[in-house]
Structure formats: structure tokens, C-alpha cells
């Protein structure tokens, strides 16, 4: 089968289109014939070596397709079932081995492309808004990268929960999409310093929570945007990792900081099912819309990475084996 493998850390050129043996599922595993793969920033972290793995390896943390083979008879799934999954490495391939307890069944009205586009970032948006800092009506939040694939999902879910959303974006096109997704006040950070703007919009109070996937470039000012006892939720680092900080900077306002990871919010099968069920039901009733920005053949994974890093597309990027 064909697969993308990384033999040495580096830029997009490190993604090599290889021929590898078709894997065999073991007990508790399923082999998925991959129909669509989601491209995410965590894939760039794996490729660059920021998050290290044993070389060589196949990247990709989410996918959707049909079960091709099962390693266990009693699994609750059957050959041919349509499924999606997240947080299992190896999706940049024609076939992938996935633990059965990481699979979710795709409803008939959710196709493979939508399943792959929704898995990792949809589950992330759900845990951020329902578990890391459970939003409630009247809460205020600052959402960085509000026009990105994850940001658009977070905004829609936060609006369902009754929150007021201040979102940062880089372009007029992203500003329009953010508005359509429920962002109440869009801040063009390329034109306006977001810290004084958030303070102005909140009458100096600050927001209840910041959802920040940018990291280094926004962290310090994000802390300054919080109300006393506010929550800083750092769930990504697209601009680079945040340097070590002294906990004393939290003291003046008794702030909370957390660095959540999706894997810790879907370890329990019941929790995974809850999040997936919510997401699929919102897609079915039209209240959650997923924007697919571009699709690439698997062999063009380097170009997909380049466009993701350079923010050339709006919406989710997919690879199609």
C-alpha cells in the first residue's frame, strides 16, 4: 500500500510517499481502509520533531473510512462499518490500524470527508467548551484564530451555549466567516492590538476564558485580557511554544492556566461517544457547519502541510488516499 512516512525530521519535504506492507490488526484493533484524512497542526509538530516519535513513522492523527478487517471477533463493530477516529497516529496511508475503542460509527448522513474533517477538531472544540472550561450563558471568551478550522467550530458551539465571543482574525475573509459562525466582536489583530481592544469591549473587566491555539505570540497579552480568577486555556502553539514562565505572573489576579490535550478528554469510551454524538447531531440539524478548505491526493501531503503552515486556505484541509 501507499503511505506517507517520515524518515528524518524537517520541513514539508520530509513527507515521503512510500510503498509499505499492508498492516495486520491484532486483538482489540481494526484495519481501516482510509477514505479521507484530516490535516492538523499536530502533524506539523510531529514532522518537525517538536513532538518526537520513533523514526520512520507515518503521521496523521485522524481519519475516516470503512473497516476492512478486525483483530477480534467481539468488538461491537463489523467489517464494512463506516467509522471515524482521532488521536491515533498513522492516518496518512491507504490503510491504518486503529484500536477499536477509539472508533466512532459514522451516521448515514455524515460522509467520509465530513467525518475526517470533524473528528479531531470537532472533539477538541467540544472538550474545550464543555469540559476544560464549561461555558454557560453570559460567559465571555477571547478566541484566537477564530477564522481557522478549529476556531469556527469553537465559535459555533460557544454561541449555542450562550457565550459572548471576541475573536481575533488576520483577514477580512476570515472576519466574515467568524461573524457567520457566531463571533460577536471580530478583532483584526493585523490592524488592532487585541489586548486594549478586549479591555475596551469588556469595560475593563476582562474575559472569563481565553481559548488560545497560537501560543508564543499571544500568551502574555492573553493573560492580561482575563478577569480575576479567569482561565487561560492554551491548546496549541501555531506560532511556537510558550517559553517557561514564572507562576508569580498568575498572582495579581489569581489566574488559572491549563494545557489540555484531546487524548485526555476521550480516554473513556463513554466520554468519546458523548462528544461524537453531540457533534453528529448538531451537523445533522444544521446548527454546526464544517468548512472544508481543500482536498489533496495523499502524495501531495507536502503541499497540504505548506498551505496549512502558511494559512493559504480557510477551513479544513484533507488528504484523499
Q: pLDDT, tens digit, for every residue of 97-111?
A: 999 999 999 999 999
Tens digit of each residue's pLDDT (9 = 90 or more) over 43-85:
999 999 999 999 999 999 999 999 999 998 667 899 999 999 9
- The hierarchical CATH code for the domain 137-259 is 3.40.50.720
The predicted model scores a pTM of: 0.93
Predicted pLDDT at 237: 86
Segments of the chain with pLDDT less than 70: 73-74
Q: Which CATH architecture has domain 2-120+268-320?
A: Alpha-Beta Complex (3.90)
CATH 3.40.50.720 region(s) of the chain?
137-259
CATH 3.90.180.10 region(s) of the chain?
2-120+268-320
Whether 232 contacts 208, CB under 8 Å: no
Predicted pLDDT at 96: 98
Direct distance between the N- and C-terminal alpha carbons of the chain, in angstroms, rounded to an integer: 10
Amino acid at each position: 500500500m501507499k503511505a506517507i512516512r517520515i524518515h528524518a525530521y524537517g520541513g514539508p519535504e520530509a513527507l515521503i510517499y512510500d510503498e509499505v506492507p499492508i498492516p495486520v490488526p491484532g486483538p482489540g484493533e481494526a484495519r481501516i481502509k482510509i477514505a479521507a484524512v484530516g490535516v492538523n497542526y499536530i502533524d506539523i509538530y510531529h514532522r518537525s520533531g517538536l513532538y518526537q516519535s520513533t523514526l520512520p513513522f507515518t503521521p496523521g492523527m485522524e481519519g475516516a473510512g470503512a473497516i476492512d478487517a478486525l483483530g477480534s471477533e467481539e468488538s461491537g463493530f463489523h467489517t464494512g462499518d463506516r467509522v471515524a477516529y482521532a488521536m491515533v497516529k498513522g492516518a496518512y496511508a491507504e490503510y491504518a490500524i486503529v484500536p477499536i475503542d477509539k472508533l466512532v460509527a459514522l451516521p448515514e448522513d455524515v460522509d467520509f470527508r465530513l467525518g475526517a474533517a470533524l473528528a479531531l477538531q470537532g472533539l477538541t472544540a467540544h472538550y474545550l467548551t464543555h469540559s476544560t472550561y464549561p461555558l454557560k450563558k453570559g460567559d465571555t471568551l477571547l478566541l484566537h484564530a477564530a477564522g481557522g478550522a478549529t476556531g469556527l467550530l469553537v465559535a459555533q458551539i460557544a454561541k449555542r451555549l450562550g457565550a459572548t465571543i471576541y475573536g481575533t482574525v488576520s483577514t477580512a475573509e476570515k472576519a466574515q466567516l467568524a461573524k457567520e459562525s457566531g463571533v460577536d466582536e471580530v478583532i483584526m489583530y493585523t490592524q488592532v492590538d487585541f489586548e486594549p481592544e478586549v479591555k475596551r469591549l469588556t469595560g475593563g473587566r476582562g474575559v472569563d476564558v481565553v481559548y488560545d491555539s497560537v501560543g508564543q505570540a499571544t500568551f502574555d497579552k492573553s493573560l492580561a485580557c482575563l478577569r480575576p480568577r479567569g482561565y487561560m486555556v492554551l491548546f496549541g502553539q501555531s506560532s511556537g511554544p510558550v517559553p517557561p514562565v514564572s507562576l508569580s505572573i498568575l498572582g495579581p489576579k489569581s489566574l488559572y492556566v491549563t494545557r489540555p490535550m484531546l487524548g485526555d478528554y476521550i480516554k473513556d469510551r463513554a466520554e468519546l461517544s458523548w462528544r461524537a454524538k453531540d457533534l453528529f447531531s448538531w451537523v445533522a440539524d444544521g446548527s454546526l457547519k464544517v468548512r472544508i478548505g481543500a482536498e489533496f491526493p495523499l502524495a501531495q501531503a507536502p503541499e497540504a502541510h505548506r498551505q496549512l503552515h502558511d494559512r493559504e486556505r480557510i477551513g479544513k484541509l484533507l488528504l484523499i488516499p
